[in-house]
Amino acid sequence: MELRAIGSLPVSVVGLGCNNFGMRIEGDASARVVAAALDAGITFFDTADIYGDTKSETFLGQALGSRRTQAIIATKFGMRLDESRRGARPEYVRTAVEDSLRRLRTDYIDLYQLHQPDPSVPMADTLGALDDLVKAGKVKQIGCSNFSAGQMEEAHRSAAPGGARFVSVQNEFSLLHREPERDVLPACARLGLAFLPYFPLASGLLTGKYARGKGAPEGSRLSLSWTARFTTAKNVAIAEALQAFAATRGRTLLELAMSWLAAHAPVASVIAGATSPDQVRANAAAVNWRLAPEEIAEIDRLAPPP
């Protein structure tokens, strides 16, 4: 599989999002998904302390086991686990990383990401704490998530000379959510940051498995109440039009959704979740469509940019 760079880290262009671990599947099923990912050439595994109420990190660490060196592990901190475990205060950064290292069964994290901005803490303070972790060898690179272009610029200005800087930003991006094209992707180009799209398949709507009037498949992510925002009438109509277009090229909607994201220069790895080995293998094989300019123009007509 093609490798791209997040700072100094070589990562597979398709990554595995691990937010299903501990939420929709348990340890044994998570291990099967991880093994299938490694066998398919996926090396980038993205999780967070909050996923599965910390179980995702635990299950990922258990699943990797002796294959840890084959993986690039990205995890996140900062969202509220409880009243004391949240935010980006330097003292909490130091606690959070130790907790994640223990759950992941590793002595270093490849990419440690601030899950969301914390306006109550000066960015320079958070970056200073993260720089200490890099210097201590506990973290290789640092990134951010859910940051605006302005917040990315602020973080860049706040980094100490010679200190660790964010090398990536992870925000929602898909054919149905193209907002990053407005200013976040241009900011990535200016600042030299890799972009990591989450919800690349709009929680399953862009897999082609959702049919209008039939509802979401039982047990799918789209059947969960919090995913209702994806299945608006407008989004369903766009997805159907994109699926029909892909079919004229002998392709699937999944191939279109994944390959379109991978075609954007700042995108380092398309992070797609999975609950089964078959889903992992399908995602890994879905980035082989090199879109022609006329195809991109038609996509823009069917799913207009912001």
Catalytic residue among 51, 92, 198, 210: 51
Cα dihedral 278, 101, 198, 122 in deg (nearest 10): 180
Cα–Cα distance, 124 to 106 (Å, whole number):
27
Distances (CA, A) of 172 to 49, 107, 181, 211, 241: 18, 29, 11, 23, 21
How far apart (Å, rounded) are the C-alpha atoms in residues 1 and 292? 21
**51 a catalytic residue:** yes
Instruction: Give me the active site residues, please.
Output: 51
